[in-house]
Amino acid sequence: MFIGHFAVAFAAKKVAPKASLGTLVFAAVFLDAVWPVMVVLGIERFRIVAGYTAINPFEFLHYPWSHSMLMTGVWAVLFAIVYQTVKGDRAGAMWVGRTVAWWAFVGLLVLLYIPGPWSPPPPSENTVAIMGLIALAIFVPWAYWIDRHREVGAVKT
């Protein structure tokens, strides 16, 4: 499930070389790290339903503080501000913030690997592997969402 997160962190490292890979990986999984804290505090809710999906038994009931579009932007900006304050790297802070909201910026990261004036020099043979990881970052959450919503509306007999 986290391969998409890691793919985005590696892609962001290409354009933010001063940012540590550990910071970028943490930024990419930050929302998923915030979610259990919100659950423990009683702010967000889920329940365990055996067989709910093929991947996991979680039925997410209420999680607007960790995964809503608005709060994703807020978390990304806050993460970038903290990074900028600690490291003093403005360009890195921009990419660290974008990595927090990776699903919103995955299209931009893909553009970095399409040859053009906006992209760095073309990478070596690893291009296919990187594009494959980015494709997984897009496809896996989409397939999970489709599977989850297909099962939610199904009538069990």
Q: pLDDT digit string (tens) for 93-133?
A: 998 998 898 767 655 666 666 666 655 565 566 676 777 77
Please answer whether residues 98 and 118 qualify as being in contact, where contact means their C-beta atoms are separated by less than 8 angstroms: no
Grade residue 82 by pLDDT with cuts at 50, 70 and 90.
very high
- Interval 47-70: pLDDT, tens: 999 888 888 888 888 888 988 878
Residue 45 contacts by C-beta under 8 Å, 6 or more apart in sequence? Answer: 39, 61, 62, 63
Q: Is the pLDDT score of 157 beyond 50?
A: no
Cα 151 → chain centroid: 24
Give the separation between CA 42 and CA 116, rounded to whole angstroms: 48
Q: What is the DSSP string of 74-89?
A: HHHHHHHHHHHHHH--
Distance in Å from the first CA to the final CA of the chain = 30
Give the separation between CA 9 and CA 22, rounded to whole angstroms: 9
Domain boundaries, the chain: 3-151
**CA angle 44–134–74, rounded 5-degree value:** 35
- Interval 143-154: pLDDT, tens: 666 666 555 444
Sign of CA dihedral 60, 63, 64, 66: negative
Considering the entire predicted model, what is its pTM? 0.62
Query: Which pLDDT score, from 0 to 100, does residue 52 have?
Result: 86
Q: Is the pLDDT score of 77 beyond 90?
A: yes
Question: How crowded is the C-beta side of 151, counted as CA atoms within 13 Å?
Answer: 17
